[in-house]
Amino acid sequence: MCQRSSPLLVITLAVLHDYNHRKTIHLLLRCATQLSMRQLFEIQAQIIASPIPSIDPNIIAVKFIGVSSSHGNLRHSVLIFNHFLSFPNIFAYNALLKAFSQHNAWHTTISYFNNQLVLPNAPNPDEYTFTSVLKACAGLAQVLEGQKVHCFVTKYGCESNLFVRNSLVDLYFKVGCNCIAQKLFDEMVVRDVVSWNTLISGYCFSGMVDKARMVFDGMMEKNLVSWSTMISGYARVGNLEEARQLFENMPMRNVVSWNAMIAGYAQNEKYADAIELFRQMQHEGGLAPNDVTLVSVLSACAHLGALDLGKWIHRFIRRNKIEVGLFLGNALADMYAKCGCVLEAKGVFHEMHERDVISWSIIIMGLAMYGYANEAFNFFAEMIEDGLEPNDISFMGLLTACTHAGLVDKGLEYFDMMPQVYGITPKIEHYGCVVDLLSRAGRLDQAESLINSMPMQPNVIVWGALLGGCRIYKDAERGERVVWRILELDSNHSGSLVYLANVYASMGRLDDAASCRLRMRDNKSMKTPGCSWIEINNSVYEFFMGDSSHPQSLRIYSMIRELKWKMKVAGYKPKTDLVIHNIDEEEKEDALSTHSEKLALAFGLINTSEGTTIRIVKNLRVCNDCHDAIKIISKIVEREIVVRDRSRFHHFKDGKCSCNDYW
């Protein structure tokens, strides 16, 4: 009964039955921020059906716009403004512009501001108008638009306003006019802590962290924003040690402080550290993570394949009834897609009230990485029907899908569609994907011709894609030529030297093969170390090739020896030609057996119950030997094993892989 007598129910009943009383209206306006969208719709319908003659509709509209904005429903905010108000006043304009700017709808903010300037009955802008519009100009980094707004600020006498001046300083830093920003700051008669924080933020944004630190150290009064801004500044330039030291030295912390440090780790690819700090935030208690926290942690989960933690976060969101807006929804879908749970990713996608091109691209790429090419194409078609323009990421997903499915002509069709239909200039990544597509299909002449016709200089990755085709189709002559092109760009490129040494050895040119190995040794060429991650009981474990640092190393290597024996009985033959070191066959087999994904797999088998699916993430492309080995292991142990390598997912089951050995 108490719940049914809540203030919101009182408001609703009062508006329905006694709306002429000023007390009722006062209660409505005071508690409006607590309204759900459904309650807002009901009350709005009653007010439209029975207008309140003694109350200016602008007063109610301002509150309703705020409610819609708090729920992320900008479309309804616009409907209220356009259809509820015949003559919107400055408060209504400011409420709408604030809603747009808070949700990063920069273009719309500027568009409505420009309409306000030209419409005959529109009110003159004030300081609140300018703070929203200047924020939009800063968000878009539009210097000309910002200068135009600055002129209007001066025209309407708002330049000395503290909030407007802070916004101007922020704008000029964001558009790269640091001298003007500093001059505006120096000319301020009155400054508050926000002014100083804006100066710190501006220098951090410009990469001038040392100058920002001087300002920070000289501040008489620092607040939590000051500390958090400085932490973000150090993280932005990759100085995580200094960022963490500041974080540890803070006199107190709020959720923004934690977010700054967690996001710093995630943005610098220190994903395990981001997750560990998130756990520390939970253990210290007192602070609940918000959507910004969760987006950063979900990003870390996505990169590490930490599905269990990602699922826990999803349950946390539901349990605490956190609204899944665009950014949080995209982060959730991306986490599921990169953890190999495409069905769950699509579930999040379909539950989202608002979607953008990134939302669609996440699903397209997720389907592509799992080899579901036709479904990826269908999603692309639905996106176009939904009225969204694809971007370069959308086409990367389509080209990736074509590559993994071997659909050469379809891939070329999408590649041509980019500039011809959508005016998108292909980036070097798109060229690399098409070269890879052609090379895998054996169309090496066409792939090399495409490289030679590129409008930009091909990089090592593009040439490497062609080299992969040469390796598959044993085109030694072309491969040797490609290797020398790669070495021109990177004289220490270990992968090409490994390939060349193997080619020379297979041709009997042992002296040349030895020369390649000597070059690697003399140049201290180092391959990117293979690294694999596996999540067990909500903790992520990291393994490198030949790793013996784990406390369970003895059991892990014992499991590898056991599997090695069972695999040989099942017909497995190690691909020792992949090992270039001048050692005997048995040592080569041992080297292959300690690849990082095999160590992670052995650890997973030891620490999970029978029948549990094992999920592994690797930073490099899985090698042929590991691929063959895991196929056989999946049959021996009767487990599903999912491996996400640099380019795609491999779902091993009953001795087979979802990629059909085409990857």
Cβ–Cβ < 8 Å for 615, 307: yes
pLDDT of residue 57: 77
583 with 509, same domain: the answer is: no
Question: Residue 155 pLDDT > 50, yes or no?
Answer: yes
Read off the pLDDT of residues 444-473 as tens digits, 9 standing for 90 and up.
Answer: 999 999 999 999 999 999 999 999 898 888
Cβ–Cβ < 8 Å for 344, 333: no
pLDDT of residue 578: 54
Q: What is the mean pLDDT of residues 654-660?
A: 89
Would you mind telling me the total number of residues written for the chain in this entry? 663
536 with 497, same domain: the answer is: no
Distance CA 94, CA 503 (A): 70
Question: Residue 168 pLDDT > 80, yes or no?
Answer: yes
pLDDT of residue 38: 73
Q: Classify burial at 420, counting beta carbons within 10 Å of its beta carbon; exposed 0-12, middle 13-18, buried 19 or more.
A: exposed
Question: Residue 14 pLDDT > 70, yes or no?
Answer: no
pLDDT of residue 418: 96
549 with 600, same domain: the answer is: yes
Q: How confident is the model at residue 523 (pLDDT cuts 50, 70, 90)?
A: low
585 with 632, same domain: the answer is: yes
Q: What are phi and psi of 540, to 5 degrees?
A: -100, 130
Give CA 204 to chain center in angstroms. 21
**110 inside domain:** no
500 with 557, same domain: the answer is: no
Domain boundary among 472, 501, 522: 522
Q: How confident is the model at residue 54 (pLDDT cuts 50, 70, 90)?
A: low
Q: What is the mean pLDDT of residues 267-271?
A: 93
At 1, is the secondary structure helix, strand, or coil? coil
15 vs 160, higher pLDDT: 160
pLDDT of residue 2: 40
Read off the pLDDT of residues 327-359 as tens digits, 9 standing for 90 and up.
Answer: 999 999 999 999 989 999 999 999 998 889 999
pLDDT of residue 511: 82
**165 inside domain:** no
Q: Which two tokens stand for residue 374?
A: 């036709």
566 with 633, same domain: the answer is: yes
Q: What is the mean pLDDT of residues 63-84?
A: 82
Cα–Cα–Cα angle for 89, 93, 94, nearest 5°?
A: 115
**385 inside domain:** no
Q: What are phi and psi of 532, to 5 degrees?
A: -130, 145
Residues 6+ apart with CB under 8 A from 504: 510, 512, 513, 516
Q: What range defines the domain where residue 550 resides?
A: 531-657
Cβ–Cβ < 8 Å for 640, 614: yes
Question: Residue 16 pLDDT > 50, yes or no?
Answer: no
Question: Residue 53 pLDDT > 80, yes or no?
Answer: no
Distance CA 405, CA 344 (A): 22
Q: How confident is the model at residue 530 (pLDDT cuts 50, 70, 90)?
A: confident
Read off the pLDDT of residues 531-564 as tens digits, 9 standing for 90 and up.
Answer: 999 999 888 899 998 888 999 999 999 999 999 9
- Residue of 338, 322, 318, 334 lying closest to 289 (CA atoms): 322
The β-bridge relationship of strands 641-644 and 614-618 is: parallel
CATH number of 457's domain: 1.25.40.10
pLDDT of residue 19: 47
**What letter would DSSP give residue 576?**
G
Concatenated DSSP letters for 203-271? HHHTT-HHHHHHHHHH-SS--HHHHHHHHHHHHHTT-HHHHHHHHHH-SS--HHHHHHHHHHHHHTT-H
Domain boundary among 522, 553, 584: 522
Number of domains in the chain: 2
547 with 649, same domain: the answer is: yes
Is residue 541 within a helix (H) or strand (E), and if so which, with residue range?
strand 539-544
Q: How confident is the model at residue 603 (pLDDT cuts 50, 70, 90)?
A: very high
199 vs 37, higher pLDDT: 199
Concatenated DSSP letters for 365-393? HHHHHTT-HHHHHHHHHHHHHTTPPP-HH
**316 inside domain:** no
642 with 619, same domain: the answer is: yes
502 with 576, same domain: the answer is: no
The β-bridge relationship of strands 531-536 and 539-544 is: antiparallel
Pure H helices in 103-161:
106-118, 127-140, 143-155
Question: Residue 7 pLDDT > 70, yes or no?
Answer: no
Q: How confident is the model at residue 583 (pLDDT cuts 50, 70, 90)?
A: very low
Q: How confident is the model at residue 86 (pLDDT cuts 50, 70, 90)?
A: confident
Q: Which two tokens stand for residue 205?
A: 């944004």
653 with 536, same domain: the answer is: yes
pLDDT of residue 414: 97
Q: How confident is the model at residue 3 (pLDDT cuts 50, 70, 90)?
A: very low
Q: What is the mean pLDDT of residues 201-221?
A: 92
**483 inside domain:** yes
The β-bridge relationship of strands 614-618 and 649-653 is: unpaired
Q: What is the mean pLDDT of residues 515-530?
A: 70
Q: What is the mean pLDDT of residues 277-293?
A: 88
Residues 6+ apart with CB under 8 A from 382: 360
Domain boundary among 522, 551, 571: 522
**124 inside domain:** no
**173 inside domain:** no
Please report, rounded to a whole number, the percentage of residues in the chain having pLDDT higher than 70.
88
pLDDT of residue 264: 96
Concatenated DSSP letters for 2-53? TGGG-HHHHHHHHHHHHTT-HHHHHHHHHTGGG--HHHHHHHHHHHHHS--T
Q: What is the pTM of this model?
A: 0.78
Mean residue pLDDT of the chain comes to: 87
500 with 550, same domain: the answer is: no
Q: What is the mean pLDDT of residues 68-93?
A: 84
Q: How confident is the model at residue 46 (pLDDT cuts 50, 70, 90)?
A: low
Q: What is the mean pLDDT of residues 608-623?
A: 91
At 614, is the secondary structure helix, strand, or coil? strand
608 with 511, same domain: the answer is: no
CA quadruple 517, 523, 529, 530: dihedral, nearest 10:
-30
Report the phi/psi class of residue 340: left, alpha or beta, with left for phi > 0 and alpha for psi in -120 to 50. left
Question: Residue 421 pLDDT > 80, yes or no?
Answer: yes
**176 inside domain:** no
Q: How confident is the model at residue 66 (pLDDT cuts 50, 70, 90)?
A: confident
